[in-house]
Structure 1
Amino acid sequence: MLFSESWLRAYCNPQMNTEALAEALTMAGLEVEEVTTIAPPFEGVVVAQVVTCRDHENSDHLHVCEVDAGTGELLQIVCGAPNVAAGVKVPCAMIGAVLPGNFQIKKSKLRGEVSMGMLCSARELGITEDHSGLWLLPEDAPVGMNIREYAHLDDAKIEIKLTPNRGDALSVVGVARDLHAVTGAPLTLPEMPVVAPTCECVLPVKVEAPDLCGRFAGRVIRGLNPKAKTPQWMRDRLERAGQRSISALVDISNYVMLELGRPTHFFDLERITSKSITVRWGREGESVTLLNGQTKAIDGWYGVVCDGDKPSCLAGIMGGDDTACTDETTSIFIEAAFWHQAAIQGRCRKLNFSTDAAHRFERGVDFSTNAEHIEYVTKLVLDICGTEETRVGPVDDQIINLPERRPVTMRIERCRKVIGMPIPADVMEETFRRLGFVYTRTEEAFTVTPPAYRFDIEIEEDLIEEVARLYGYEKMPDRPPMQRIEMRAEKEATRSPHDLRREMAVLGYQELINFSFVPEAWEKDFAGNDAPIRLLNPIASHLSVMRTQLIGGLVDILKYNLNRRAERVRVFELGRVFCPDAAVGDGPWTVKGVRQPRHVAGLAYGDAADAQWGIAARPVDFFDVKGDVERLCAPLKPRFVRETFPGLHPGRSAAVYIGEKKVGMIGELHPRTVQAYELPKAPVVFELDVDALLTTSVPVYAAVSKHQSVRRDIAVVTAPETETGRLVDAVYEAHGADPRLSSMTDFRLFDLYRPKDAAQKSLAFTLELTAKGEEPVSDLEADAAVRAVLDVLEREGATLRA
């Protein structure tokens, strides 16, 4: 928000210099980002009038002028500006003047003609970059007056950086209102006299979308002067607020927006062909040509103001070219509407441009003063563009659906506790009085009804913040914590996601942090997901959906590294994925219809180990990464069950189970995906559910047996497709049910033999038995345990090898 200091002081003028004023605004929460003067230092420049102007005899572009600079005699000055002419008033740098850049003006001779000064452009005085000609001053500029004093060039431009919740401060009056509250200086608001109608001209307006437009005020004015010039005072204020003067009507609309925070729109009444306006939501297939010349396709997400039923403007964002005012406009319809915040937010991002109007409506605009602001705009239009034939219609003010201003209660003791100071209740009351809030007070609390221009007052903490910032942040003491802080011990059976990150780092993986929104192709390639959650306003066109997997981001970073000649890559990410789930409701940490579990995913590419003389080089494979997953899950024991997944090699992938719950997947990237993403070789990837890994078992003490363990080897044959893991799981399941296996402490595979062209494979297991009492495991007990294991294996299709 940029404005001139003099404009602000016209409404609130505290007795403090510019630096103190900027400090007061900053400490009140309106951070002053920059303070600059209108013009850099210079001296010796006055208002002058060109009395005569003739062509230089020895030049085709110079002019010899006689200039009245208020000295009592005419000065001869040679000037080369194309717009110099007799009668114009311009800045004149006198002999001895010093211009920006330490440029001194001296008596000189140009091609034989004496020049007693210099006529200046705005650029030569450091005011603007306009160097097309002299700075032409108004006809009523007093000759001989110092130009800095006449044009208020010692005024300052103040730029404040606002937080998104302070939409009320996007106007000079809004800033003045806060300055009044902070300093106590009198607040003088612009007068808004009622302009009596002089005709019955009314443009019918129909609002069909109360969730789009809460209030619509309008007025017809006919018989205006289309050639009227914007007054210099208004042009100065606009230009010093960063707005270029365009035409009188456009300037009035921009001025009111900057002064009052009220975006308005002027329609050329004669270009409204249907002689009526409709406010509704857009429809699929419609389009509108805007004031910036762009034609935008719209749908039901955008609000539109229609000429009859034809979209003419984007509601709250930008007017349309079809009904825009031109240099020939003599009749206008003024619109001052209240558009609901939710109906405007996000639309500009999707349209790929922003407007000052939308910037304000997104944050909330005062909905209680539409009619008064129409009267104010009317007065400005009549004062600047009015003629004897001007006719003014009545104000048509439709109130459809205004936001409810719910009272907010602030407990006095709660305020003191949060701020940390014993602020008197009378000071709190003075805060609300200066802010213009309507309130009631009891011994325990204040109940405040927020004004229509303060959309940021919703909860108790908002009122506490108002008390703190007006009381003065600088008055708050720096105090150390008064309570002893004790570290709370974590539960022994749990671990944090950071523990998983640390374990991945130990395994040699580097962590990534990727966007949660990804290209739609990733979801189809890596998750087989044809219906991901789509973003309404993506930050980039290709990042259009929310991810349900992390592998796409890992592969993307792998490509990035391979393009930079990396040969061995180990990366991982721990983050949330976003899955549609109708069972999820809205909550403090949830969004309706979206489940957001945390996943950890890893990718390994290149050699299994760094190049060294002790280990032969070989590419990383499924079993290397399987070992990494087992270490990540430990002390939990994962099981790996053959299964196919989108994006993974169907013969080299598996589901990961912990107990009976599937917690993730592991495998080599599918050859088709490898080719699509232009990878030289297939990486091995895995992805696991984080929450399933955070709860672990607690170690249980058991005495070490006094006797040596007994080991028996068992060799069986089975069909080639039989999964070894299923055989091991079956034996462990029987361990708790079959008393013959009560002393079993370990059962694992140690050998596999698969002859070529054989119809069976041979598996060799080790069975370990440990005595749990005082007596060792006998041969009879060992034989019974072996028999029990064989019974289980035979039920699973494996027979003892001959």
Structure 2
Amino acid sequence: MKLSESWLREWVDLPVDTEELISQLTMAGLEVDAVEDAAPDFQNVLVGHVLSVEPHPNADNLKICQVSIKPEDVTQVVCGAVNVRQGIKVPFAVVGARLPGSVKIKLAKLRDVESFGMLCGADELGLSDKSKGLLELPLDAPVGLNLRDYLKLNDKIIDIDLTPNRGDCLSVRGVAREAAVLNLVPFSEPCFLSVSSSITDTFSIQVDESEACSRYAGRIIKNVDMTVSSPLWLQEKLRRSGLRSTDAVVDVTNYVMLELGQPMHAFDLDKLNGGVLVRMAKKGEMLSLLDGSKVVLTPDTLVVADKDKVVAMAGIMGSDNTAVSSNTCNIFLESAYFNPIAISGRSRAYGKHTDASHRFERGVDPRLQEVAIERATALLLEIAGGRAGPISIVENKADLFQETEITLRHARLEQQLGLTIEGSQVEDILNRLGLAVRKISGIGWHCSPPSWRFDLSLEADLIEEVARIYGYENLPVATPSAQLPITSFLETRRELPGLRNQLIARGYHEAITYCFVDPEIQRQLTPDAEVISLVNPISSDMSVMRTTLWSGLLPAIRHNLNRQQSRIRLFETGLVFSPSDSGLKQESMIAGAITGHRMPENWHTNAELVDFFDLKGDVQSLLSPYTASEQFEFIKGQHPCLHSGQCAQIRRNGHLVGWLGQVHPAVQKILGLTQTIFVFEVHLQSILEDKLPRFAEVSKFPEVRRDLAFIVHEDVTAGDLCKTVRAEAGKTLIDIKIFDVYKGKGIKVDNKSIALGLTFRDTSRTLEDSEINQAVASIARAIEVKFSGILRDQ
């Protein structure tokens, strides 16, 4: 909300400058977003009096004016404004004056006639963005006075960003009340006198929705002169608040809204038929709004109607068929209290956010309607004339603001703020905020909030109010202390962030997909799994709960492939779901998927595609270095959605904990995947459970390596072979590497050669050749017995 500082100071006499005022408001919760000048910088522009106007001898559109800024001083000015005429008072920029945009006024000659200055319009002074000719000043403006002083343009516009609960500060009245409290100065609201009725005309008011509109006030004003413009002081206050002047009636209703915080609306009385009715809209009703748009109303919209038609969306915007215009003579002035719940969300639904809806959504003072209509009536009669009738009010007191009593405990206040505050000081703060305070001996106070502070309902609210006014910056800074139990940290448990970082380091990106998945994708990936269907799914393709993380990862892969991303590595951690005897079973999993080239495109790398062993290497990197070699194993297996030749079970101590392999080509085709995809999925708990690392001294004795190649049947796996080698070699075998697998010339058709690099070492002595030879012989015999394997000579 934009607020003129000078207007604020008209309401309350503040002993602080602008900078201190801004700091006070911000620290009190009324955050100041920006502060700007009320007008651009211009100098030497005075109030001028046009004494005479004559036609220019050489130009039809120009006139020669004689302008006075002193009784004895008359200056000749050539002017082309359409509204220049004898007797008006206007801004006069004398020779040497400086206007916005670095424009300097010099002596000029226009069509052979000298001009000693310039008569100015509002746009030329930066006071308006539209040109309407000269800015006409009131006839009582002192001639020769500096225009900046006359219009009080050395003013600041303060832009305040209010939280939704402070609707009471969406007005000069509300901010002035806050500023007075913060500066310990008295705040006395101006007394707006009631306007005596000069006619007896009234207009019928009926409220069908008393809960949504608990008070509706209206008044007829006849014989309004719509040809009269709003006075300059009113136009200026509207401009500095971000509103433009339109006509006297609308300007007055806007002015009262800014001044008091009560939105108002004026109807053309002659366009209303049979009284006004506040009701809910009927389905399909149409309304043409003031902004020229048309909307179809929904039954949850509160409207104001007459006997024949809807005339306004209550609290949001009026219709163009009852709007005041230059032909209006009689008006019906509306001032109502609309429940925030009835208005909230409606303006957004229709895309019609207005100043009125902004205030009604946050709440207005439910006791302000009569004051506002009296204030608006007095201004209208002063500016545009007319005769006012009596105020008609329809209200439901049961739905109006009801005074509540909140108990504030002194001990609780001090405990929350961390300091001791004198009871008299607390009472003073609460009283200045407008609360009715009643002391409870030895306990605290009973407090009744005023009608404009409808946001106060709890003890915590009052504690916050005391803290605000006391000053957040004055509260002590203390470090909270408490006796917290120290929980044990299991060194045998790994942390999930470490696994995530491991995969990210290997080029993966983390994906987060929905737990609700497409049942068709689920069926292709886990056809035998029992799924849990949702009773009320978001959509048909999110109607079952996932039994595997692949059901989210593979669509994510497809999404990226369809957007020309050919090298993809994704992983996800999350829950999978299945039914159980006790209800819903949830298991934490980690899964990944890769496709595309092995390495990013580069001048020194080959365009090789990823394969099964790339994925297996990534999975092995997740396994603990203390348990991987002895507890985990990869065993050839069969999975419904994986390629039978490139599929492996992941087992730990003989228990199945996961799968990895290539997505079956048939499944790949059904899912619309255009590249070969490799996936893995492992129970997260099996990876997080670790063993304590044990210290082992680094051996200072040399290693011995022997390379052995065995010819075995093609069904024999390298893993089984390595397991046998470890069992037979003894403790001195420290490493096994598979460095070659060969099938071809010299090897039978159904056989293959697997070459193993064996490294031996002892921590206490140098190994002898006889020991190594004995270990190699034992290994050869075991492989021959178990796998019918033959040791190759070369």
TM-score (norm: length of structure 2): 0.70
Cα distance, 1:428–1:62 mapped onto 2, change above 3 Å? same
Q: Structure 1: how far apart are the matches of 2:385 and 2:587? A: 65
1:10 Cα deviation (Å)?
1.3
Aligned partner of 2:323 in structure 1 is 324
Shift of 1:201: 1.5
Shift of 1:463: 1.9
Residue 413 in 1 paired to residue 415 in 2?
no
- Partners of 1:67 and 1:491 in 2: CA distance: 92
Answer yes or no: is 1:444 the counterpart of 2:443: yes
Distance 1:632 1:335 in 2: 75
**1:759-778 correspondence to structure 2 within 5 Å:** none
**Residues 1:75 and 2:103 aligned together:** no
Structure 1 equivalent of residue 271 of structure 2:
271
Shift of 1:181: 0.8
> How far off its partner does 1:504 sit?
5.2
Residue 471 of structure 1 and its aligned partner are, at CA, apart by 1.1
Deviation at 1:558, TM superposition (A): 5.9
Give runs of aligned pairs for residues 395-474 of structure 1, distance below 5 A.
395-399=393-397, 401-402=399-400, 406-442=404-440, 443-474=442-473
Q: Could you tell me whether the CA contact under 8 Å between 1:196 and 1:394 is conserved in 2?
A: no
Q: Specify the code of the residue in structure 1 equivalent to 2:92.
A: C
2:357 counterpart of 1:358:
yes
Between the two proteins, what is the percent identity of the paired residues? 36
**How far did 1:664 drift?**
14
Aligned pair in 2 of structure 1 residues 491, 187: CA closer, same or farther (>3 Å)? farther
Q: Are the structure 2 counterparts of residues 308 and 161 from structure 1 closer, same or farther at C-alpha, using a change threshold of 3 Å?
A: same
Q: Compared with structure 1, are the counterparts of its residues 571 and 192 closer, same or farther at alpha carbon in structure 2 (3 Å cutoff)?
A: farther
Shift of 1:332: 2.8
- Once residues 265 and 669 of structure 1 are traced to their aligned partners in structure 2, the CA distance between those partners, rounded to angstroms, is 70
1-structure distance, mates of 2:302, 2:164 = 22
Contact residue 550 and residue 591 of structure 2 kept, 8 A: yes
- Aligned-partner residue type, residue 293 of structure 1: G
Give deviations 1:369-424, integer Å, cap 9, x for gaps: 22333333333333333325x43453333446235554333332332233233332
Residue 777 of structure 1 corresponds to: none
2:77 partner SS: strand
CA distance in 1, matches of 2:659, 2:395: 61
After TM superposition, give the deviation of residue 200 of structure 1 in Å: 5.2
What is the one-letter code of the residue matched to 1:254? N
Q: Map Cα deviations across residues 66-125 of structure 1 (whole Å, 9 max, x no partner).
A: 112225132111223343232322111223434345544344433432222222222333
Equivalent residue, structure 2, for 1:251: 251
Paired with 2:245 and 2:605, the residues of 1 have a C-alpha distance of 78
Cα distance in 2 between the residues matched to 1:670 and 1:428:
77
Amino acid at match of 2:430: F
Post-superposition offset of 1:667: 10
Stretch of structure 1 that moved more, 350-359 or 148-157: 350-359
Relative to 1, partners in 2 of residues 1:83 and 1:220: Cα closer, same or farther, differing over 3 Å?
closer
Shift of 1:611: 7.3
Structure 1 residue 207 displacement after superposition: 1.9
Q: CA deviation at 1:436?
A: 0.6
Partner of residue 703, structure 2: none
Structure 1 distance, partners of 2:469, 2:34, is 22
Q: Which residue of 2 aligns with 1:369?
A: 368
Q: Decide whether the 8 Å contact of 1:202 with 1:393 is kept in 2.
A: no
Displacement, 1:14? 0.9
**Aligned letter for 1:325?**
V
Distance 2:217 2:183 in 1: 35
Cα pair 2:213 2:338 within 8 Å, conserved: yes
Cα 1:144–1:474 change in 2 (3 A) is same
Q: Does 1:606 align with 2:596?
A: yes
Q: Which amino acid aligns with 1:396?
A: V
Q: CA RMSD in A?
A: 5.2
Counterpart residue identity of residue 219, structure 1: R
Conservation of the 8 A alpha-carbon contact between 1:91 and 1:147: yes
Deviation at 1:605, TM superposition (A): 4.2
* Structure 1 counterpart of 2:338: 339
Where does residue 6 of structure 1 map in the other structure? Answer: 6
Superposition pairs of residues 283-682 of structure 1, within 5 angstroms: 283-308=282-307, 310-387=309-386, 390-399=388-397, 401-402=399-400, 406-442=404-440, 443-482=442-481, 488-489=487-488, 498=497, 501-502=500-501, 505=504, 508-511=507-510, 532=537, 566-572=565-571, 604-607=594-597, 617-618=608-609, 624=615, 680-681=674-675
Q: Which runs of 5+ in 2 are unaligned?
A: 523-532, 577-585, 694-712, 714-794
Q: Which residue of 2 aligns with 1:207?
A: 208
Partners of 2:125 and 2:506 lie apart in 1 by 67
Measure the CA separation in 2 of the matches of 1:29 and 1:298.
37
Any idea what the Cα deviations from partners look like across 1:212-268, whole Å, max 9, x if unmatched? 333333333344333343222221111110100111221122112111111122222
Find the residue that maps to 2:566 and give its secondary structure. coil
Q: 1:327 to 1:132 in 2, by over 3 A?
A: closer
1:330, distance to aligned residue in structure 2 (A): 2.8
* One-letter identity of the residue aligned with 1:263: P
Give the equivalent residue in structure 1 for 2:95.
95
Report the residue type matching 1:419 in the other structure. L
Contact conserved, 1:203 with 1:220, CA < 8 A, in 2? no
Where 2:322 maps in the other structure, the secondary structure is coil
1:187-266 residue pairs with structure 2 within 5 A?
187-197=187-197, 198-199=199-200, 201-208=202-209, 210=211, 212-266=212-266
Tell me if structure 2 keeps the 8 A contact 1:573–1:602. Answer: yes
User: Could you say if the C-alpha distance between residues 614 and 8 of structure 1 is closer, same or farther in structure 2, counting changes exceeding 3 Å?
Assistant: closer
Contact map agreement 1:10 1:188 (CA 8 A) in 2: no
Structure 2: distance between partners of 1:70 and 1:319:
49
Which structure has the bigger radius of gyration?
A: 2
- CA distance in 1 between partners of 2:560 and 2:436 (Å): 61
Deviations 1:418-473 (A, max 9, x none): 32333323222211111011233333333333333224323333222211221122
Cα distance in structure 1, aligned partners of 2:575 and 2:300: 28
**Matching residue of 1:145:** 145
- 3-state SS, counterpart of residue 192 of structure 2: coil
TM-score, structure 1 normalization: 0.69
Q: Secondary structure at the match of 2:342?
A: helix
User: Given that residues 268 and 324 in structure 1 are in contact (C-alpha distance below 8 angstroms), is that contact kept between their aligned partners in structure 2?
Assistant: yes
| Residue type of the alignment partner of 2:400 | L
Give the stretch that moved more between structures: 170-179 or 260-269: 260-269
Aligned-pair distance for 1:362? 1.9
Shift of 1:4: 1.0
- Tell whether 2:146 aligns with 1:156: no
Q: Measured at CA, do residues 248 and 399 of structure 1 come closer, stay the same or move farther in structure 2, by a change above 3 Å?
A: farther
- Aligned equivalent of 1:541: none
> In structure 1, the residue corresponding to 2:236 is in which secondary structure?
helix
Cα distance in structure 2, aligned partners of 1:447 and 1:406: 10
Which residue of the partner structure matches residue 774 of structure 2? none
Figure out how many residues of one structure are paired with residues of the other and give that number.
667
Deviation at 1:625, TM superposition (A): 9.5
Cα pair distance change 1:223/1:135, threshold 3 Å: closer
What's the CA shift for 1:623? 11
The residue identity in structure 2 corresponding to 1:171 is S
Note closer, same or farther for the CA distance 1:311–1:134 as it changes in structure 2 (3 Å cut).
closer
